[in-house]
Amino acid sequence: MMPRSDGMRVPVRFYTSDGMIDDMLADNSLQQAANVACLPGIVSASLVMPDMHWGYGFPIGGVAAFDVDEGIISPGGVGYDINCGVRLMTAELDRGELEPKIRRLIESLYRSVPSGVGSKGGIKITQKQLRSILAEGALWSVAEGLGTEEDLEYIEEKGQMKGADPRRVSARAMERGKGQVGTLGSGNHFLEIGYVSEIFDPATAETFGLSKDRITVMIHCGSRGLGHQVCDDFISVMNAAARKYGVDLPDRQLCCAPIDSEEGQSYLEAMRCAVNYAFANRQAIAAGVRRAFEKIAGAVKLRTVYEVAHNIAKMETHDLEGKSRRLCVHRKGATRAFGPGSEDVPSAYRSVGQPVIIPGDMGRCSYVLAGTETAMKDTFGSTCHGAGRLMSRGKARKAATGRDIIAELNSRNIEVISTSRRTLAEEIPEAYKDVADVVNTCEKAGISRKVARLQPLGCIKG
Amino acid sequence: MNANYRENDKQPPWLEYMEHAADAGIRVTADSREELFVRAAEGMFTLVADARDIEPEELLTVSVEAPDIETLMVYWLSELNFYHQVHRWLFRKYKIVEMVDFRITAELNGIRVVPNTRNVFAEIKAVTYHGLSVRQEGDRWLAEIIFDL
């Protein structure tokens, strides 16, 4: 805990371990969390998850909730890649059945799902269709024959965030997004085939449909150029709004407006459009995954376990000191982790809590967690989102010099296709924290609990 | 952030890269405001592609205006990044036609990249205000800009 001081309205509460504390102190993420604690209407504490690192205004791994009547909304608390998130699917196949075909499957996926810098050529859409995507999210994709209604039940917000208004999205954002539906993008985005390597909670795993050696698919990407542009557009708006409403900003990148202001509502409506774009995008990519599986493995059913968002702002009701409060919860590099009994958790999972998908780096494992009651009490139902970077891209490229990264991964029985050697170098496993440390810290704090570990078999990096 | 660094010997002396955990930054120096804005654009695009061998084929004119010089830098670089991302431009030559107060008009020569014909190795999501600095120190101008990759 960092107690209140110097303009902080609430304390900072950060989650870390002895093994991660030096890295945590090495950058400015705690100071950023302290700056967030100064913003009007913030309640309880400015929170930081163990995968924290330095961000723009808000730290990555930051969670901050604001009273809807007195608080602010900030694009920096959501991030440029609005609704960057992860979908987890399972295939009705076990590891032994797929391993002989994994290389062909990865190659088929690489052809089915455009990836890489500037990836385009996914699905051709008109301007009118794009507006529908912004309003309807994954529902649009399903209506176009990309996946089934069953998928929607297992996506956060059921694949559509209500209250989106495409008129709030600029022409420039529309231009950036039009050619990118159904594409993975680049950087740390990926598509991974894996298997369940360990079960920690058999009963919850069974509820989620996870069994040992079951084949899994993870899709990690966001709202592409459209979301980036929405954030960019509203940073200008919010800079002016902060001055207009007299908000004292310790950091310019914390620019914001009162939630109930014209500017605040406009941002929310535009942000929701970008959220829906990402939902539609991942649903379209999942359809590409299903096509690739069908070509290589025959008529194998792929089921969506769950899909989470980790850059988002949502209106939620939480209990604070015995009172029910309506709050705007910002999660930037943090995942919702609602506990058992929550109405927002699919009915099939309600008894055990919401699935949380935590991807690791491309060489190590990922985790499936479940949300907890403690998370509801302590972190507005939130937990970590991934491993968090340890090394800058430049340092990672230097560390990768002279190495055959693909061969190294192959030697660990992991097939990789990447559109860029440079991206691959930047994404080497040691560039990231060990996700096991991050997840164990969250479990120790009670804000999520381990259900299963996933091991990679093959990966496409953008 | 850690120390600045040079990627290789071919990097111009006015350009340094700034360490950042997740993204990338540049530090650029120049003798004038106009030269600073040109070099900042060139520096940004070194993060994206190697444009040194481009034979310019087309001309693009851009104009941006902002309330202050730092915001002007963000708007200027964002405008160029937009043309690169959406219209596949890569620039080789930059000419500031006019720079008055916080308004800039420039002519840029370059090419429209045909997909899969050139190595474009990174995508800039946004030009950020994080750690942004555009200032004059004595006779020199200096800019520090971080990009979300």
Query: Is A314:A329 a contact under the CB 8 Å cutoff?
Result: yes
Residue B8 confidence (pLDDT)? 66
User: What backbone torsions phi and psi does residue A135 show, to the nearest 5 degrees?
Assistant: -85, -35
Distance CA A379, CA A136 (A): 29
Mean pLDDT of A371-376: 98
Of the listed ranges A87-91, A331-335, A382-386, A430-434, the one predicted with least confidence = A430-434
- 8 Å CB contact of B129 and A252: yes
Query: Is A176:B86 a contact under the CB 8 Å cutoff?
Result: yes
Instruction: State both tokens at A399.
Output: 């560390």
Q: For an interface test with A, give the residue of B72, B83, B123 to mutate (most A CBs within 10 A).
A: B123
Answer whether B23 touches A (CB < 8 Å): yes
Give me the residue from A236, A253, A393 closest to B130, CB to CB: A253
Residue A95 confidence (pLDDT)? 96
pLDDT single digits (tens) A323-360 = 999 999 999 999 999 999 999 999 999 999 999 999 99
- 8 Å CB contact of A81 and B122: no
- 8 Å CB contact of A53 and B22: yes
Mean pLDDT of A183-188: 85
Q: What is the 3-class SS of chain A, one letter each residue?
A: CECCCCCCCCCEEECCCCCCHHHHHHCCHHHHHHHHCCCCCECCCEEEEEEEECCCCCCEEEEEEEECCCCEECHHHCCCCCCCEEEEEEEEEEHHHHHHHHHHHHHHHHHHCCCCCCCCCCCCCCHHHHHHHHHHCHHHHHHCCCCCHHHHHCEHHHHCCCCCCHHHCCHHHHHHHHCCCCCCCCCCCEEEEEEEEEECCHHHHHHHCCCCCEEEEEEEECCHHHHHHHHHHHHHHHHHHHHHCCCCCCCHHHCCEECCCHHHHHHHHHHHHHHHHHHHHHHHHHHHHHHHHHHHHCCCCEEEEEEEECEEEEEEEEEECCEEEEEEEEEECCEECCCCCCCCCCHHHCCCCCEEEECCCCCCCEEEEECCHHHHHHCCCEECCCCCECCCHHHHHHHHCCCCHHHHHHCCCCEEEECCHHHHHHCCHHHECCHHHHHHHHHHHCCCEEEEEEEEEEEEEC
> Within its chain, how far is the Cα of A95 from the centroid?
26
3-state SS class at B106 = strand
- 8 Å CB contact of A422 and B88: no
Instruction: State both tokens at B27.
Output: 């530090």
For residue A240, the chain B residue with the least C-alpha distance is B67
> Residue A304 forms beta bridges with which residues?
A89
For residue A53, the chain B residue with the least C-alpha distance is B21
Tell how strand A449-461 and strand A415-418 pair up: parallel
Residues of B in contact with A172 (CB under 8 A): 82
Highest mean pLDDT among A36-40, A50-54, A427-431, B5-9: A36-40
Distance CA A214, CA B71 (A): 51
Residue A118 confidence (pLDDT)? 66
Phi-psi region of A411 (alpha: psi -120 to 50; beta: other; left: phi over 0): alpha
Evaluate if residue A276 carries a pLDDT over 90: yes
Domain locations in chain A?
12-461
Residues of B in contact with A232 (CB under 8 A): 78, 126-127
More confident residue, A119 or A48: A48
pLDDT single digits (tens) A433-445 = 889 999 999 999 9
pLDDT single digits (tens) A115-155 = 877 666 678 899 999 999 999 999 999 999 999 999 999 99
Give the model's confidence band at A193: pLDDT under 50 very low, under 70 low, under 90 confident, else very high. very high
Q: Which residues contact B100 (CB under 8 A, 6 or more apart)?
A: none
Evaluate if residue A107 carries a pLDDT over 80: yes
Which helix (H) or strand (E) covers residue B58, if one does?
Answer: strand B58-65
pLDDT single digits (tens) A261-271 = 999 999 999 99
Candidate CATH numbers 3.90.1860.10, 3.90.1150.10, 3.30.1510.10, 3.40.50.300; the one for domain A12-461: 3.90.1860.10
Residue B2 confidence (pLDDT)? 44
Residues of B in contact with A228 (CB under 8 A): 125-126, 148
User: What backbone torsions phi and psi does residue A160 show, to the nearest 5 degrees?
Assistant: -145, 120
Residue A347 confidence (pLDDT)? 98
Q: Percentage of chain A surpassing pLDDT 90?
A: 80
CATH code, domain with B84 = 3.55.10.10
Tell how strand B24-30 and strand B140-148 pair up: antiparallel
Tell how strand A366-370 and strand A355-358 pair up: antiparallel
Highest mean pLDDT among A22-26, A151-155, A232-236, B12-16: A151-155
For residue B119, the chain A residue with the least C-alpha distance is A420
Residue B1 confidence (pLDDT)? 40
pLDDT single digits (tens) A281-294 = 999 999 999 999 99
Residues of B in contact with A361 (CB under 8 A): none
Complex confidence, ipTM: 0.90
**B65–chain A nearest CA distance, Å:** 13
* pLDDT tens by residue, chain B, 149 residues: 445 677 666 788 999 998 776 678 999 999 999 999 999 999 999 999 888 888 989 999 999 999 999 999 999 999 999 999 999 999 999 999 999 999 999 999 999 988 777 778 888 999 999 889 999 999 999 999 999 98
Could you tell me the residue range of the domain that residue B120 belongs to?
4-148
Distance CA A372, CA A284 (A): 31
Q: Please indicate whether residue A318 is annotated as part of the active site.
A: no
Mean pLDDT of A173-197: 92
Burial class (CB in 10 A: 0-12, 13-18, 19+), A450: buried
Residues of A in contact with B20 (CB under 8 A): 54, 392-393
Identify the active-site residue in A189, A318, A330, A385.
A385
3-state SS class at B122 = coil
Evaluate if residue A280 carries a pLDDT over 50: yes
Query: Is A384:A335 a contact under the CB 8 Å cutoff?
Result: yes
Taking alpha carbons only, the member of A348, A410, A360, A368 closest to residue A390 is A360
For residue B24, the chain A residue with the least C-alpha distance is A393
Q: Which residues contact A366 (CB under 8 A, 6 or more apart)?
A: A192, A194, A218, A357, A358, A359, A360, A435, A453, A454, A456
- 8 Å CB contact of A253 and B122: no
Q: How many domains are there within chain B? A: 1
Query: Is B56:B48 a contact under the CB 8 Å cutoff?
Result: no
Answer whether A225 touches B (CB < 8 Å): yes
Distance CA B96, CA B116 (A): 31
3-state SS class at B85 = helix
Q: Which residues contact A407 (CB under 8 A, 6 or more apart)?
A: none
Query: Is B94:B108 a contact under the CB 8 Å cutoff?
Result: yes
Q: Percentage of chain A surpassing pLDDT 70?
A: 99
